[in-house]
A = this chain, B = another copy of it.
């Protein structure tokens, strides 16, 4: 490993090239006119010395760094991975760099604090702007713009991208009810997120539109995680009058529900139908495939990045809230009664 004793600075380059630091700075930034031969000269020295300008120093002088920050609660979560994919795509396209921060396993309170900490640590100093996925915190103080993906219920004043959760669930409920299901269980999401609230509402309204009363026993409080989904489904299936279908607020919950069903010796879709929300890649891999509501996750990441870049460039947004249309994807996890 070529471990250099002391970092090579713009000074070193200038000295080696026999020019002043301003000239080096100029060739670095491709601004102002530099004599072609001087340019080549300096470039050669830079390459030879393996010089790279210090992000720290650079960002201190000029407000733009070209790097975007991303805060995700859990890198292991498929939803969040998909969002990252979309962001990565956009990052490449907009010629930015991406730095991501990810918390560990924290309580809701602790993650909110970590999010705030990271925003104030990075934003405006190292980072031109940040994207926060499913924020636990509901306010951030930051010089630079912040965009949320699937925002917290209490920070609707941030620019954000969110799916048409309500409409999506409604469509899926109609499908389920059309199949003849009347007792439909629901595994909720992280209640502090708008998506979770909207999906729950869609569930209730879907029932009501069909004239089916809402049974509180059929609504289990989840948190978008697979294990929790499994536990919720277990309770649902253990009810005196168990549901014939289960709606997971996201695919992870639904997958957990399927696991619970199998563990209880129940077949999907033969004994219980299951529907999810998200359309993560796993949903298609499964056997049978999971019927779910596609919310085009990676596109959400892309759009969020696009919005953030506009804000960074000082442009205005067409709309502060981008609503990603959803689409029901029917696979094999449901059957008609």
Q: Which of B59, B142, B158 contacts A56 (CB 8 A)?
A: B59
Contact A91 B120 (CB under 8 A): no
Q: Which of B59, B60, B92, B141 contacts A2 (CB 8 A)?
A: B141
Query: Is there a chain B Cβ closer than 8 Å to A4's Cβ?
Result: yes
Report the nearest B residue to A89, measured CB to CB: B104
Identify 6 residue pairs between A and B in the complex whose beta-carbon atoms are under 8 Å apart, listed by A's number. Answer: A1-B139, A1-B142, A1-B146, A4-B143, A6-B143, A56-B125
Bound CA–CA A192/B118 (angstroms) = 35
Query: Is there a chain B Cβ closer than 8 Å to A210's Cβ?
Result: no
Bound CA–CA A6/B142 (angstroms) = 9
Query: Which A residues are closer than 8 A to B by beta carbons?
Result: 1-7, 50, 52, 54-57, 59-60, 75-76, 81, 84-85, 88-89, 91-92, 97-104, 117-118, 120-122, 124-126, 139-143, 145-146, 155, 157-158
Bound CA–CA A76/B101 (angstroms) = 15
Report the nearest B residue to A52, measured CB to CB: B120
Bound CA–CA A120/B49 (angstroms) = 12
Contact A142 B81 (CB under 8 A): no
| Nearest 6 pairs of A and B residues by beta carbon | A52-B120, A54-B125, A56-B125, A88-B104, A50-B141, A56-B59
Contact A140 B1 (CB under 8 A): yes
Contact A142 B84 (CB under 8 A): no
Bound CA–CA A3/B55 (angstroms) = 24
